[in-house]
Amino acid sequence: MKYTFLAILFLSLFMTIGFSASVNSSQGIIEPPDTLEGLKTMVLKVFLPFEQGFKQALEQAKIIWNKLYIEVRGWWTDNLADKVSVWLNRAWQWLKGLFIERESVFKQEFNKEKEEMKKDVKTEIPKLQKTFWEKFKEIIK
């Protein structure tokens, strides 16, 4: 989608610049400037059509992009919105049912893990205390 938007923008830009150049081509050949002020005015004259063309191209691209968005939104609503909504609702109900069925299993497993951790804490903490005390004695010696 963004590539389409950029393509429309650049085509509009080049078409507008080409149109501006053809309108301004009757002014004749541009001579080299004598001073810096002359150079500045010449550069501004050269880039003014680019700036105006870019603004016009951007406005045209916005209009085209808005029309494209309205068309795609309408097509989506007419063709796929209901089908996707039904599918998403079915998927949500399936997932919800899956977790409700598994809730009791999760609770049982959680309680088992909690009991195992209590046992591990009761057996491991005295071991850690001994090793800490022994290490402390070694440091003091």
36-47 pLDDT per residue, tens: 888 888 788 778
> Rounded distance, CA 30 to CA 61, Å?
32
76-121 pLDDT per residue, tens: 999 989 999 999 999 999 998 888 888 888 888 999 999 998 888 8
Hey, what amino acid is at 6?
A: L
Domain boundaries, the chain: 1-79, 82-141
pTM, whole model, 2 decimals?
A: 0.39
Contact status, residue 61 vs residue 9, Cβ threshold 8 Å: yes
> Rounded distance, CA 109 to CA 44, Å?
76
Question: What's the average model confidence in pLDDT over 59-69?
Answer: 92
